[in-house]
């Protein structure tokens, strides 16, 4: 075939008729046949030569199409004056005509009315060349998670065309490519992606907890979600907006769990969607009312959880350019300082600030302890205003104590004098003092440094379920029984083990729990494996001494474990919570104790065991 083509190339020359026609057009009447042949051969050769040179220009112009300018340049190379101003509206500007036994192609030159040209409006100025770099690197055939390019100076590029918002996927920047005279481009999802999106969102806010766990797992681990990210983010932000108005606590919690799953996914780069996600999260922290019955429902847990999400996103995304952390801090501080702020919002602000780390606590919260203490005192000891206020003040108080104690323990010199504390911190002083002392003993006893306030959740571990045991004898304002639909309110739900899915090889959890000051009940840790279906229950007696934290290390496989599963280790240490806990590994069947789940305890566990988990083998 190549040969054929080559031969063709060899023999193609312009027909002599063309020569004749051209000669006539310039006034040469009778051209000899031989002259025609000679001229056509010569012309054909020169045309081929110029075409070959023009190809060279095309190659160097890094193009695939030969343009007229290439031919101009090739002519210049041969010292021939190029054809200036050649342009045609159509692809082939020639017209065909036949007559008098001859066939002709000619270039149609219409008469142009000058006034038409003058009166036509100027065409739009073409867009200027601009340079664009995507925030996320290009992704190709590989399905493995991409290393997210560090937002270093290269990507921090001051690039034009940055304004394509969340409508377009941020995967490959180029698909937005050249947008001419078209302000936005919508990015179509494939049918499969649409189905997936529908399933996931339905499962996330649906009633089936198992499905939800699966959906969240998928969001947290699947690598190819970047195209759906804008949809998810809009879904969440719209969802929060609607459900805050309707005070639908459960849905808000589900949405926050979605946010967490998105943040856990290492292949997603959320920075471009923070403008939607952060307002949603902050709403869940500081909103005045999140549930229909603020006196009974445990919306505090949601605030805590959202505050931790906020802190995590500050750590991950705050840069010198966007200043997320300082902006968020300002927002919280401002509404906290406002006297008219309600207790719910106050609680959210403090929780949000406290999660940002000990430095923030030290600089922003500690100085305000006295003022806040006075406020709490006014509610607690003053005339009974309303039950809601009282509950709120109570929560704020325990929140402050919880967060400040560990910080104070670090910055204050040793002798903890109650009086001294009272003068320094006012109403909260004495309670703070006892908490600080507790924190000190704890710190001294724990070989492993647990600095709770700086913990971040670094790995996607959505399947670990921690729930409060029903055996807990802890009572107080936050009894688990308040919660209406307890099982659907667990933030971290156990996922029923499916036989097809391999069990995680070595599951190790470190759980920290402290018995409440007066608690003498036993903490039951229930472990069960899906294969065995016989729960391995190890009962750890609570320390008799009230301040003794529990540190128990259990090693060795339980009797019910199948041989294929490797050794499991559970390290149980104390948790400053008044609740005892029960913990199920990923593949466990749901034990009965789950039914009385305390959201609060669940989330405390969730957070505080994270450093341990991060040092252990991930599952």
Instruction: Please identify, using beta-carbon distances, which residue of 76 and 275 lies nearer to another protein.
Output: 76
Count of CB atoms situated within 10 Å of the CB of 441 = 14
> Is 153 an interacting residue with respect to another protein (CB under 8 A)?
yes
Part in contact with another protein (CB under 8 A); list of ranges 5-13, 396-404, 421-429, 575-583? 5-13
> Is 554 an interacting residue with respect to another protein (CB under 8 A)?
no
Q: Which of 118, 122, 140, 181 binds another protein (CB under 8 A)?
A: 140
Distance CA 605, CA 581 (A): 8
Three-state SS at 377: helix
> Is 10 an interacting residue with respect to another protein (CB under 8 A)?
yes
**CB 258 to another protein: min, Å:** 27
Q: Which of 32, 65, 113, 117 binds another protein (CB under 8 A)?
A: 65
Residue 489 tokens read as 């309110």
Three-state SS at 157: coil
- On the CB side of 379, CA atoms within 13 Å amount to 19
Q: Are 170 and 134 in contact (CB under 8 A)?
A: yes
Give the single-character DSSP code of 365.
I
**CB 61 to another protein: min, Å:** 5
> Is 434 an interacting residue with respect to another protein (CB under 8 A)?
no
Three-state SS at 502: coil
Residue 510 tokens read as 């470190």
Torsion-angle region of 30 (φ positive above 0: left; ψ -120 to 50: alpha; else: beta): beta
Instruction: Please identify, using beta-carbon distances, which residue of 172 and 315 lies nearer to another protein.
Output: 172
Q: Which of 146, 225, 350, 450 binds another protein (CB under 8 A)?
A: 146
> Is 138 an interacting residue with respect to another protein (CB under 8 A)?
yes
Q: Are 450 and 608 in contact (CB under 8 A)?
A: yes
Q: Are 185 and 172 in contact (CB under 8 A)?
A: no
Count of CB atoms situated within 10 Å of the CB of 548 = 15
Distance CA 41, CA 18 (A): 12
Instruction: Please identify, using beta-carbon distances, which residue of 156 and 554 lies nearer to another protein.
Output: 156
Torsion-angle region of 99 (φ positive above 0: left; ψ -120 to 50: alpha; else: beta): left
Q: Are 494 and 465 in contact (CB under 8 A)?
A: yes
Identify which of 278, 407, 285 has the alpha carbon closest to the alpha carbon of residue 341: 285
Residue 141 tokens read as 């055939």
**CB 156 to another protein: min, Å:** 7
> Is 159 an interacting residue with respect to another protein (CB under 8 A)?
yes
Instruction: Please identify, using beta-carbon distances, which residue of 51 and 533 lies nearer to another protein.
Output: 51
**CB 269 to another protein: min, Å:** 12
Instruction: Please identify, using beta-carbon distances, which residue of 53 and 276 lies nearer to another protein.
Output: 53
Q: Which of 33, 103, 175, 238 binds another protein (CB under 8 A)?
A: 175
Distance CA 474, CA 480 (A): 10
By rule CB under 8 A, what string of x and - marks binding of each residue 437-476 to another protein? ----------------------------------------
The continuous run of DSSP H or E covering 276 comes out as: helix 274-286
Residue 222 tokens read as 């699947």
Q: Quick one: how far is CA 424 from the chain centroid?
A: 42
Instruction: Please identify, using beta-carbon distances, which residue of 62 and 110 lies nearer to another protein.
Output: 62
Q: Are 71 and 54 in contact (CB under 8 A)?
A: yes
Q: How many residues bind another protein (CB under 8 A)?
A: 67
Q: Which of 17, 24, 33, 60 binds another protein (CB under 8 A)?
A: 60
**CB 79 to another protein: min, Å:** 10
Instruction: Please identify, using beta-carbon distances, which residue of 12 and 292 lies nearer to another protein.
Output: 12
Residue 606 tokens read as 């969730």
**CB 451 to another protein: min, Å:** 25
**CB 46 to another protein: min, Å:** 9
By rule CB under 8 A, what string of x and - marks binding of each residue 313-332 to another protein? --------x-----------
Instruction: Please identify, using beta-carbon distances, which residue of 108 and 175 lies nearer to another protein.
Output: 175
Q: Which of 64, 124, 182, 340 binds another protein (CB under 8 A)?
A: 64
Instruction: Please identify, using beta-carbon distances, which residue of 78 and 330 lies nearer to another protein.
Output: 78
**CB 321 to another protein: min, Å:** 8
Instruction: Please identify, using beta-carbon distances, which residue of 155 and 222 lies nearer to another protein.
Output: 155
Q: Which of 82, 145, 161, 473 binds another protein (CB under 8 A)?
A: 161
> Is 26 an interacting residue with respect to another protein (CB under 8 A)?
no
Q: Are 568 and 506 in contact (CB under 8 A)?
A: yes
Distance CA 613, CA 572 (A): 12
Part in contact with another protein (CB under 8 A); list of ranges 21-29, 172-180, 225-233, 541-549? 172-180
Among positions 73-112, residues that touch another protein (CB under 8 A) are 73, 76-77
Distance CA 198, CA 221 (A): 18
The continuous run of DSSP H or E covering 39 comes out as: helix 33-60
Q: Which of 31, 35, 66, 132 binds another protein (CB under 8 A)?
A: 132
Among positions 35-54, residues that touch another protein (CB under 8 A) are 41-42, 44-45, 48-49, 52
Angle separating helix axes 191-205 and 229-245, nearest 10 degrees: 30
Distance CA 307, CA 260 (A): 11
Instruction: Please identify, using beta-carbon distances, which residue of 27 and 126 lies nearer to another protein.
Output: 126
Identify which of 553, 531, 530 has the alpha carbon closest to the alpha carbon of residue 540: 553
Q: Are 266 and 220 in contact (CB under 8 A)?
A: no
**CB 275 to another protein: min, Å:** 20
User: Which residues sit at the interface with another protein, rule CB under 8 A?
Assistant: 2-3, 6-7, 9-11, 41-42, 44-45, 48-49, 52, 56-57, 59-65, 67, 69, 73, 76-77, 126-134, 137-142, 146-150, 152-161, 172-175, 177-180, 321
């Amino acid at each position: 075939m190549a040969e054929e083509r080559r031969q063709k190339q060899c023999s193609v020359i312009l027909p002599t008729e063309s020569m004749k026609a051209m000669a006539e057009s310039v006034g040469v009447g009778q051209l000899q046949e031989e002259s025609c042949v000679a001229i056509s051969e010569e012309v054909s050769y020169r045309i081929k030569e110029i075409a070959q040179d023009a190809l060279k220009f095309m190659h160097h112009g890094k193009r695939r199409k030969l343009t007229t300018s290439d031919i101009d340049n090739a002519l210049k190379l041969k010292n021939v004056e190029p054809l200036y101003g050649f342009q045609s509206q159509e692809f082939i500007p020639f017209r065909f005509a036949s007559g008098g036994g001859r066939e002709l192609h000619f270039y149609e030159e219409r008469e142009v009315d000058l006034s038409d040209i003058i009166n036509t409006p100027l065409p739009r100025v073409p867009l200027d060349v601009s340079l664009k770099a995507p925030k996320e690197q290009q992704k190709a055939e590989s399905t493995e998670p991409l290393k997210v390019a560090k937002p270093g100076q290269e990507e921090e590029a001051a690039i034009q065309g940055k304004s394509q918002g969340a409508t377009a996927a941020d995967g490959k920047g180029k698909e937005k490519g050249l947008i001419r005279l078209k302000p936005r481009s919508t990015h179509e999802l494939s049918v499969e992606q649409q189905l997936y999106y529908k399933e996931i969102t339905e499962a996330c806010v649906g009633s089936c907890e198992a499905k939800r766990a699966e959906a969240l797992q998928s969001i947290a681990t699947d690598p190819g979600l970047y195209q759906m990210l804008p949809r998810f983010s809009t879904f969440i932000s719209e969802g929060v907006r609607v459900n805050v108005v309707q005070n639908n606590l459960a849905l808000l919690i589900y949405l926050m769990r979605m946010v967490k799953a998105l943040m856990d996914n290492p292949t997603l780069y959320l920075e471009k969607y923070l403008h939607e996600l952060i307002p949603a999260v902050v709403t869940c922290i500081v909103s005045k009312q999140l549930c229909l019955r603020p006196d009974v429902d445990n919306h505090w847990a949601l605030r805590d959880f959202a505050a931790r999400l906020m802190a995590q996103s500050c750590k991950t995304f705050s840069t010198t350019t966007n200043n997320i952390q300082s902006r968020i801090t300002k927002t919280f501080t401002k509404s906290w300082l406002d006297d008219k702020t309600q207790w719910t919002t106050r609680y959210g602000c403090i929780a949000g600030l406290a999660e940002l780390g000990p430095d923030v606590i030290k600089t922003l919260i500690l100085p305000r302890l006295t003022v806040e203490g006075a406020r709490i005192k006014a509610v607690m000891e003053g005339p009974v205003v309303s039950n809601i206020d009282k509950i709120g003040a109570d929560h704020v108080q325990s929140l402050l104590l919880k967060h400040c104690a560990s910080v104070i323990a670090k910055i204050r010199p040793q002798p903890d004098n109650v009086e001294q504390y009272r003068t320094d911190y006012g109403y909260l002083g004495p309670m703070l003092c006892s908490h600080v002392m507790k924190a000190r003993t704890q710190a001294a006893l724990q070989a492993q440094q647990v600095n709770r306030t700086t913990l971040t959740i670094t790995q996607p571990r959505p399947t670990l379920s921690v729930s409060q045991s029903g055996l807990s004898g802890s009572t107080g304002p936050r009894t688990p029984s308040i919660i209406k639909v307890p099982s659907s309110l667990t933030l971290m739900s156990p996922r029923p083990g499916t036989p097809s899915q391999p069990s995680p090889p070595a599951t190790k959890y470190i759980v920290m729990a402290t018995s409440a000051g007066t608690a003498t009940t036993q903490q039951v840790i229930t472990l069960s494996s899906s294969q065995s279906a016989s729960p391995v229950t190890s009962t750890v007696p609570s320390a008799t001494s009230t301040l003794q934290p529990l540190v128990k290390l259990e090693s060795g496989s339980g009797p019910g474990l199948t041989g294929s599963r490797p050794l499991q280790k559970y390290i149980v240490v104390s948790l400053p919570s008044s609740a005892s806990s029960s913990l199920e590994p990923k593949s466990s069947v749901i034990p009965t104790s789950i039914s009385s789940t305390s959201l609060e305890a669940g989330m405390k566990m969730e957070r505080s065991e994270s450093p341990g988990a991060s040092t252990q083998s991930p599952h």
